[in-house]
Structure 1
Amino acid sequence: MTTRLYENPIFLEHLTPPGHPERPDRLRALNVALEHPNFAPLDRRQAPQANEDAILLAHPEEHLFAVMRQIPEEEGEIRQIEADTYASPKSLQSALTAIGGAMAAVDDVMTGDVSNAFIAARPPGHHAEKATAMGFCYFNSIAIAARHAQRKHGAERVAIVDWDVHHGNGTQDIFWNDPSVLFCSTHQMPLFPGTGKRDETGIKNNIVNAPLSANVGSDHFREAFKSRVLTALNDFSPDLILISAGFDAHHRDPLAQINLVGEDFDWATGRLMEVADKFAGNRVVSLLEGGYDLEGLAESAGFHIMRLMKG
């Protein structure tokens, strides 16, 4: 079946200060890569904007209002809302559209319209805790997508796999007490945000962390993925797999020191698709998270999307 890709021009209008790593050029670089003829079969759709109530699937109303109050109104204004997290006038609309794309992709795979989907969106979401915006993130899009799969489609066991080089502290925080969601993460440690130790396991061992030391490469990543992530997934037997697809573990990335190459993301994608084939009716939804070297991001995301397209 065709792989669906959700995109929207609004994602380029979420602005950050000059020199900030999470910038619109990230998506422009990915779009250049997707112009290759190999990606012609992609079913490219415009991501819809979610309504604000969707945020309440994973966050309290007070958090939504706190973020809304920080959104500037004056064109061209960029406001710092947290140490490294900024907002511009279209940032809330961009974040709601990232969530809308994720929810639409869940609808697509749960109804069998497509087997898998990728959401090329920003801002990212996996650092957003229940009531805290941080790490370039306002709202946790992948957590909202998981809750949407449960509420609308009756998904009983949702697995979230996060291979961003920074630990998905927000996703861990939201699902710490919820054994219906398995959260698995590979990440560099020590590194921002400082969470993600192996002994952080959640209330029912539904949190599986596989921290990696700085300067390791493909072999260590693949071994951790096989021994920790894939073992947990097979024990959990998910009916939906969601991927927090950060590509900042690429060796070119300026924010970390893990030395992966594009083929590693191809390999990891393939392994998750095998699990999805075994347990989840091939249902996979992938959301863009980090990846701050433009060439590394384009290469890695290209490998990832191409593997999704192979079905």
Structure 2
Amino acid sequence: MERELVAPVSLTAADGRLNADAIGFARRPLVDTAGVDGRRGWGRTKRWEYWNVITPTHIVALTVSSLDYAAVHEVWVFDRATRRSRGRTATVIPAHDVDLPPSLGDGAAIARARDLAISVTPGTESWRLFAEIPDASFDITVVRPPGHECLAVVVPWSRRRFQYTVKDVALPASGTVVVDGVEHPVPAGSWAVLDHGRGRWPYDVRWNWGAGAGVSGDRVVGLQVGGRWTAGTGSTENGVLVDGILHKISEELRWDYDLAHPLRPWRVRGGGLDATLTPFHDKHSARNLGILSARTHQCFGVWEGSFEGMAFEGIEGFAEDVHNRW
């Protein structure tokens, strides 16, 4: 079983390497990541904020990131009725016009690039997500309900290579999405997920990630599953939220899917969880800038299955397969 962190702790030791006392998982973002600032381990330090919001009419996402030598940002808006996507990606070399807080909640995340503007502003147990590209924008408020738990995990490859991730799922969202000048409300029943990351990564890495949220029966269910990148570390990023309470899964899960046919079902099993995502859209992207390359299949759909005897259905979310050289 993984160790549960219950008190604030620094991710890094005085020498900038991993602090062994930080290894474990937490239900709140307790880990101070101010030591992951790019001044040590330059080129391997990766910092980002990713937000995804699924509404009845749209799916939106934003990314603010710094990879030391480059800043990579994205704004994406998907119309669920027309299946049309609008988006902008910016790769800024060398990294500039990007601000990321030292630790989660310590300040705003801001990115500026050609035809793209993003700001993520924290409040008291809330965030304001604003993103704008030439043909679309969104202004969304996300709240963390009282007692709502997240999954914060420190993943140790070694003392020099490590990652702190906060996966916060099933967060209620409200606001507006504007596409081609037409305003669309973000109503009740819209859900947000946060991926907050700070760490120092290997150059070549592959991972799976899946998340989802919704109401099944009389319960709010949130799914958070991952794979491959944590294998052999003793840490996992797997858990299920039921009415805001985290049920941690401390074992690697089995992922079954076919990248040749990504819109076929994705199945994730283990630790009392048996979940299947039936996709309706594959957000596929690939770029190769020589030393920097990335390939992603992020499939959006509906999860159903069971966890420790509790059946669930109608949980909207995604599952992804990613390969980065960065």
Identify whether the pair has TM-score above 0.5, normalized to the shorter chain.
no
More helix per residue: 1
TM-score computed with the length of structure 1 as normaliser: 0.31
Instruction: From the CA coordinates, give the structure whose radius of gyration is larger.
Output: 2
Indicate the structure with greater strand content.
2
Scaled by the length of structure 2, what TM-score is found?
Answer: 0.30
